[in-house]
Structure 1
Amino acid sequence: MKLTLTDVGRTFGPKVALEGVSLTADAGQFLCVVGASGSGKSTLLSIVAGLVPPTTGTVTLAGAPVTGPGPERGLVCQSGAVYPWRTVERNIAFGLELLGLSRAERKARVDWYLAETGLELFRHALPKQLSGGQRQRVAIARALACEPEVLLLDEPFGALDVQTKEDMQVFLRDVWRDTGTTVLMVTHDVEEAVFLGQRVIVLSSDPGRVAADVLVDLPADRDLTVKRTTEFLRTRAEVEDLVRTYHRRHAGTTPSR
């Protein structure tokens, strides 16, 4: 299913958060969106999730307009928002219960995602017994268990320490490879965006517009050692310069040469 945004804009009173945003994600692609504060990254994701309607423009998935939340789009936020009164396996099963799947179907999917996310030994644990990284794994597993066409991630690792964040980046790429789900991820971390994404979308600030669409020319199978390669460092620097340039243009200063 192709995800398409056409001339999307969003205002909040006199504030223009997004203006004229057009982009396309083909089925199975991993796109990361970066930009300085005020670029409307989270607003963009909320529009694609159907939580906020666009003021102008359209969002379509496989040609059908997005008019509200739906099971074909799974959303994971920075907090993870797992249910504290449910065990790990019951958190993962939550959406499946809403979809009306049989007990056998729910069990099969929950078992698969417990194994895929390395949470088999924690199936009966409550979220308070888990680390921050483990809780995010639960949130991602819960979203993917409904088998959405698109996984939407809003700064999912922003609250984690550096070591846990890198572990989760590797985990996410492995899950994406195994499931083939289209991923649209918002992050303020350029290094993370280049490591995870096939493309990095750079938004300008106030209002948010697509300033650049950078193709990440790195191997499909990546581990953390790729971060030390010349191509990775070149691409990270390119994206960082773009973010800085378009933020400075908004601020009314001249980019350094």
Structure 2
Amino acid sequence: MLELRGVVKDYRVRGRTKRALDDVNLRVRRGEFLSVLGASGSGKSTLLSLVAGLAAPTEGEILLDGAPVTGPGPDRGLVFQSSSLYPWRTVERNVAFGLELLALKRAERKRRVAWYLAETGLTEYARTLPGQLSGGQQQRVAIARALACEPEVLLLDEPFGALDVQTKEDMQVLIRQIWQDTGITVLMVTHDVEEAVFLGQQVVVLASDPGRIAARVEVPLPDGRELAIKHAKDFLELRASLEDLVRAQHHGTVTSPGTKGK
């Protein structure tokens, strides 16, 4: 289980203290897919950076399976909006990069690379350089690289935000399939309400300035989802409700009907 307990994050900006996150308490169960939704200024990326260990909270603590998070580690895989691949390494060598830092036998490294290339539909591109791939394919490589170390938690920082609509939807289907195939815990931050609903089992809505949890909302949709569900009445109603909630929180309103806090 991933836990954030009373997490506060302050920054110094032009000699003043700026609070990015305030008293965030959050639990993500093992194997859960949790979407964190919020407008600009809600601290979404800051929250993910703290969980990844790229920054330390000003107050509070972050625990993974009861152990404090004190820095980056192979138990958390992180995928950004930009794929951040090494352009001089082939696809398979990009995926293998993190494995080279682990005490694994060569055969195990090869097995993992091959499996995650197949899982992300990249086997035929194994010896291709990133510059020869489309944006969606590059994000597939980034996801495969993050998963190859077999982390406890996969962290997604608006990973499809730079993609066109068709490619984004293809990637959404892919990440749900990977989640179901591997049983990994996924924590994703996004500003895209439709994406948060389609991917998440639950959606946490952040209020803005400073970022804090406004609501945690169940997504009452089956885990086996296809893109057509985006046109279903239940989906559209929940999307509209969350859009209203995000808009209200961004403008400082504290309450919204139809939400369920936890």
The two structures share one fold, judged by TM-score above 0.5: yes
The residue aligned with 2:238 is 235
Aligned to 1:6: 5
- What is the match of residue 193 of structure 1? 196
**TM-score by structure 2 length?**
0.94
Q: How does 1:200-239 map to 2 (within 5 A)?
A: 200-239=203-242
Structure 1 letter corresponding to 2:205? V
Please give the secondary structure, in 2, of the residue aligned with 1:249: coil
Three-state SS of the structure 1 residue aligned to 2:252 is: helix
Partner of 2:120: 117
For normalisation by structure 1, the TM-score amounts to 0.96
Match status 1:22 vs 2:21:
no
Q: Which runs of 4+ in 1 moved over 4 A?
A: none
Matched with 2:57 is: 54
Question: What CA deviation, in whole Å up to 9, does each residue of 1:195-238 have, x standing for no partner?
Answer: 00001110000000000101101011001000011111111111
Partner SS state of residue 92, structure 2? helix
1:67 is the counterpart of 2:66: no
State how far apart, in whole Å, the 2-side matches of 1:23 and 1:208 are.
13
State the match for 1:83 in structure 2. Answer: 86
1:152 aligned partner, one-letter code: L
Match of 2:259 in 1: none
Shift, 1:102, TM fit:
1.4
Corresponding position of 1:176 = 179
Per-residue CA distance 1:155-208 (angstroms, 9 max, x = gap):
100000000000000000001100111000011101000000001110000000
1:149 aligned partner: 152
Calculate the aligned-residue CA RMSD, in Å: 1.3
Q: Which amino acid aligns with 1:173?
A: R
2:165 to 162, 165, 174: 162
Residue 35 of structure 1, aligned match among 30, 33, 38: 38
Distance 1:58 1:68 in 2: 12
Matched position secondary structure for 2:251: helix
Query: How far off is 1:78 after superposition?
Result: 0.5
**Pairwise CA distance, 1:249:** 1.4
Correspondence 1:84-99 to 2 at 5 A: 84-99=87-102
Distance (whole Å) between structure 1 residues aligned to residue 181 and residue 92 of structure 2: 20
CA distance in 2, matches of 1:32, 1:236: 13
Q: How many residues are paired up? A: 252
Letter in 1 for 2:227: L
Q: Displacement, 1:248?
A: 1.2
Q: CA deviation at 1:100?
A: 2.5
In the aligned structure 1, how far is the partner of 2:142 from the partner of 2:191? 20
Summarize deviations over 1:94-114 as a string: whole Å, max 9, x none. 111110311110111111111
Structure 1 counterpart of 2:80, one-letter code: C
Q: Which sections of structure 1, spanning at least 5 residues, go unmatched?
A: none
